Chains A and B, each alone.
Chain A
Amino acid sequence: MQAPATPNSQDPEVLDRIIAQIETGRLELPLLPQTASQILSLCQSADCTMQELADLLQRDPTLAANVLRVANSAAHGAVEPIVSLQQAASRLGFSTLCEIATAIAVRGKIFTLRGREAELARMWRHSATAGTWAKEIARKRRRNVEGAFLCGLLHDVGRPVLMQLVHELAGPAANAHVEGEQRVYDHFHAEVGARLLVSWAMPAWMVAAIDSHHAPAQAGEHAEAAWIVALADDLAHWSEQPGAEADKALRAHPALEPLSLYEEDLDALLALRERVAAAAEAIS
């Protein structure tokens, strides 16, 4: 868990404008993708039918195609090809289908920037992996796992949002890197991510967890959720680049104490690496 870097005075003017917007609360944040919003409310309705979800997904052919692609992936045990959303539901289960559809909808709107596709794809992959780890950590803690995935998935959502804003301000050279931008992303992504979630009317615990995922002890009553995200973030880094160093760092992770995760608990989590990677791959 690394502390984000502090921006310095060498940053170009565009970054100063972004920082000023953040500090004065005038940042223009993207709306929650409409489909994601509809899927989330549909998933929370006890009366929702598969037909309603299928209808909703079918209104967005890209989303429907992506859901089918995920359902057909090895991570979800595809043996025979799935060709309909109804079939996808019986393979994945309603809640997984909702999770995947929400994730894909968010990705399409937020994790996208011309010229930075490879970087954002890596970022997305990391987010999807963190989301999957967050769910497994919550399960290990005997906590309700609903919401943990989304919380992990969106922990770094402030980064692409800031990238989009910086590049909008930077003008036509949108695919160029702005000098010093990374420092701004590192420093402000948690705060911007949290503000985004507030504007999306996400629950307070999720906002606090994302806001404090680099300093979970500051999350007050939501510290447990923030520690889960912090550990999920580093487990995702470990999944991406395992090795003796990463392993050692995980075994000394500050989240282990507040989450009461002992050696055998961590071993049990680490053993899930392939399963987590496959699930994350499916939505990447």
Chain B
Amino acid sequence: MSDAAHYEFVVIGAGPAGQKAAVQAAKLGKRVLLIDREGAVGGECVHRGTIPSKALRHSAQQLAALRGPECAWMQASLAENTTVQGLMQRLDAVLRAHEQYMGRQIERNGIAHVQGRARFVGPQELEIERPRANRMAVRADFVLIASGSRPRLPAGIPIDHEHVLDSDSILSLIYLPKSLLVLGAGIIACEFASIFQALGVRVTIIDKARAPMAFLDADLSAAYVRSFEEAGGKFLSGRSVAEVTVDPLGWVVTQLDDGSRVRTEKMLCAQGRIANLAGLNLQAVGIAPNARGHLDVDAHGRTSVPTIYAAGDVIGPPALATSAMEQGRRAAQHAFGASEALAPESLPSGVYTIPELATVGLSEAQVRERLGGALVGRASYAELARGQINGSSDGFIKLVAGPDGRKIAGCHIAGENASELVHVAQIAMVAGLQVDAFVDQIFNFPTFAEGFRVAALDLIAQRERATQVKRAA
């Protein structure tokens, strides 16, 4: 290792966490190396996940809108030979723009970038295997593991990327199947299920859980199921798969534990993701993944080895691009003694299903459990002029406060613009505003944001009723 190149900060993985960490360290004047197994910066998020699936969703939403009651005067349908790639027409332009922007940022900050697979030789020594090139030895003062994740391959599910696909290969489907079985009910599973449903595919979701995306507020989860089933989808909850086979005609036959069978043209297996840790040779530095296959880190993102940090999907939930970026930045700041921004108390989450879902803070059930009760204010999009104009009357905003009905503990939104609107509640929560602040302020008309005022008024009315009941008692 004597002739190894020396860097102050070596980042393994060029996804959201790694990229932001590298930039942060470079801005602190450090010599940084960014390593990624793929040639392009951006990681799975950009190239196989978030961005491609959102491009497909955009087409699905447009089609759903054209098929909606507002456009009943026209008959919108997809051409017989529509390809999935054809539905992501702007994807290449979006990816190129994103790649160029990120590439320029890496270059501007003087960050060295190499395509390869890193392997620990010691806590501060790495070996990089490169395609078509000699191995490279590197010494580092600090290392950040941000190698991301990949789809989990459950035992007994014959993923062949032809009949049974994972969340990566489904995006390279040539044609739209007539029917699709989605195995799993997490975010990725539900996003793809609603996208394909909107594109006219008959979709069935199967999961062991009683409700999809169980970590969400129950009303959001129920709104998703209602909308999905109204559009013709089937959600088979509380079931397990006994066997999956591909019959001679190429149909995927799924045998369930209750004896029933589902026959579909394709299957999407989306039963979680696993951290990309194999190949890093972590045993060489004495780090072992936890029982869930993730790396344990402290509040600064540091592993049990003081010079090695980890961020993003490798450290487990929430495994969102936004949280990963923040974790990466904070790890770099801590490594080099820069003051870290305060850790946000609550991260917003956007789920890009159709309808869109967004959440910040605690669910109603969590508030009841932790604060001994909850008051809930609701606003239906149907009550809002913007909801009527846009034909989005099935959405809602839900504000949750503790039993005193003062401080906002959580906000949950289903429907158009949910992932944008939720930031209003997030800022109110960070600023410690009371529910009444939404009533005291004026919102543009007609907007979905007016829903905050409606929901706040509903919550305040309940608070007053509760106070009267208490006084009367």
Contact = CB atoms under 8 A, between A and B. Distances in A.
Contacts of B81: 44
Given A142-B169, A251-B132, A260-B37, 12 more contacts: A44-B81, A44-B175, A46-B177, A46-B178, A91-B248, A93-B249, A95-B250, A143-B168, A145-B160, A146-B162, A260-B39, A263-B129
Contacts of A8: none
17 contacts: A50-B249, A93-B249, A93-B250, A95-B163, A139-B160, A142-B150, A142-B168, A144-B162, A144-B169, A145-B162, A253-B132, A254-B132, A256-B131, A257-B132, A260-B37, A260-B115, A262-B37
Interface in A139-168: 139, 142-147
A263 to B, nearest CB: 7
B132 A252 contact: yes
Contacts of B91: 221
Interface residues of B, number: 36
Interface in A251-279: 251-254, 256-258, 260-263
A90 B132 contact: no
Interface in A31-69: 44, 46-50
Interface string A84-106: 00000111111100000000000
B4 interface: no
Nearest to A220: B92
Interface in A189-209: 203-205
A15 interface: no
A22 B266 CA distance: 41
Given A46-B179, A144-B161, A89 B131 contact: no
Contacts of A139: 160-161
Contact of B172 (A95, A143, A221, A257): A143
B166 interface: yes
Interface string B153-183: 0000000111101101110111101110000
A20 B168 CA distance: 44
A50 B247 CA distance: 11
Interface of B is mostly: loop
With a 10 A CB-CB cut-off, give which of A47, A48, A94, A254 has the most chain B CB atoms: A94
B265 interface: yes
A146 B166 contact: no
Contacts of A144: 161-162, 165, 169-170, 172-174
Q: Is the interface of A mostly helix, strand, loop or mixed?
A: loop
A138 interface: yes
B276 interface: no
A257 B174 contact: no
B250 A94 contact: yes
A147 B151 CA distance: 22
A249 to B, nearest CB: 11
Contacts of B174: 144, 146-147, 203
A145 B170 CA distance: 10
Nearest to B171: A144
Contacts of A49: 249
A143 B52 CA distance: 14
A219 B131 CA distance: 21
Interface string B134-149: 0000000000000000
A93 B166 CA distance: 21
Given A205-B85, A257-B132, A138 B161 contact: yes
A261 B168 contact: no
A260 B132 contact: no
B161 A262 contact: no
Interface in B394-409: none
Interface in B80-95: 81, 83, 85, 91-92
Nearest to B37: A260
B38 interface: yes
A85 to B, nearest CB: 11
Contacts of B115: 257, 260
B249 A94 contact: yes
B329 interface: no
B439 interface: no
Contact of A90 (B168, B177, B248): B248
For the complex of A and B, list the 8 residue pairs with the smallest distance between their C-beta atoms, beginning with the closest.
A46-B178, A221-B92, A94-B250, A144-B172, A256-B131, A90-B248, A94-B249, A143-B172
Contacts of A258: 39
A2 B328 CA distance: 43
B353 to A, nearest CB: 23
A252 B166 CA distance: 30
A257 B115 CA distance: 8
A93 B92 CA distance: 34
Contact of B131 (A50, A204, A260): A260
A253 B37 CA distance: 17
Contacts of B160: 139, 145
B209 interface: no
A93 B39 contact: no
Contact of A203 (B85, B131, B249): B85
Contacts of A95: 162-163, 250
B161 A142 contact: yes
Nearest to A138: B161
B117 interface: yes
B246 interface: yes
A18 to B, nearest CB: 32
Given A95-B162, A220-B92, A262 B117 contact: yes
Contacts of A260: 37-39, 115, 131
Nearest to B251: A94
Contact of B83 (A47, A203, A261, A262): A203
Interface in B186-232: none
Contact of A46 (B85, B166, B172, B265): B265
A260 B160 CA distance: 20
Nearest to A48: B249
Between B117, B175, B177, B178, the greatest number of chain A beta carbons within 10 A of the residue's beta carbon is seen for B175
A262 B248 CA distance: 35
Contacts of A91: 248
B100 to A, nearest CB: 14
A141 to B, nearest CB: 9
B88 to A, nearest CB: 10
